[in-house]
Amino acid sequence: MFIETLITEPIYFFRIIIIVIFSITLHELAHGWAAMSQGDNTPQKTGHLTLNPVVHMGKESIIFLCLMGIAWGQMPVNPSKFRSRKLGNILVSSAGPLLNLALGILFIAVLKILVNFSLSGLFSVEFLYLAARINLTLFLFNLLPIPPLDGFHVFSEIFPKLKPLQNTQFGIFAMMLLFIIPEFGTGIGGIADLVIQSVLGTESADF
């Protein structure tokens, strides 16, 4: 289990915990801000416009993150309050993954500056690389068209015939398969590595 990393690689363990909690918190806040912009004040009424990670993730998610390396978050929204339900659902659903993409790009940009100007002594390049990798992975994972992921809500608005799948066991079954197949997680992480290394101009992860 992931908790074993606390014994073998404690610094790596806490880096992942910090980055994931930070990234999921901002991911959920992006959903909330987008919902507010579309006329839905539910995030504000429920007290979810906060930087408190416990509000967004819950204690169970944080505990599961420490034990298994897997976490989730939630942002209550009411699509019926969106000015345009279709467009609003697309914008609100895509806001979280796009926030992770923006964070990934930001961390890559900082890494690029540190590498190009030999300033790696100022910050931990290992931490920045890991932060970029995790956020790009979250971006790619959350855009999968599988309920209850954000990607499903986006694609089901574009392709309405997908909507009935939301009320079936398809999502649970698909998610179980994704976590059972280790190559899946490795593949998404590999794509993130490829993007980062292509930008940095490195052939292998030296971080």
Catalytic-labelled residue, pool 4, 9, 28, 126: 28
Is 206 a domain residue? no
Is 70 a domain residue? yes
Read off the pLDDT of residues 172-188 as tens digits, 9 standing for 90 and up.
888 888 878 877 778 99
Is 148 a domain residue? yes
Q: How many domains does the chain have?
A: 1
Is 205 a domain residue? no
The domain containing residue 178 runs over which residues?
Answer: 2-200
Q: How far is CA 201 from CA 116, 156, 188, 194, 197, in A?
A: 10, 37, 20, 10, 6
Radius of gyration of the chain (CA): 18
Q: Which of 149, 179, 182, 181 is nearest to 166 (CA)?
A: 149
Is 207 a domain residue? no
> Out of 5-19, 21-35, 83-97, 162-176, which region has the weakest mean confidence (pLDDT)?
162-176
pLDDT of residue 28: 98
Q: How far is CA 1 from CA 128, 172, 175, 183, in A?
A: 24, 21, 19, 17
pLDDT of residue 177: 82
Is 191 a domain residue? yes
Instruction: Check pLDDT > 50 for residue 13.
Output: yes
d(CA 202, CA 45): 47
Q: Catalytic annotation on 28?
A: yes
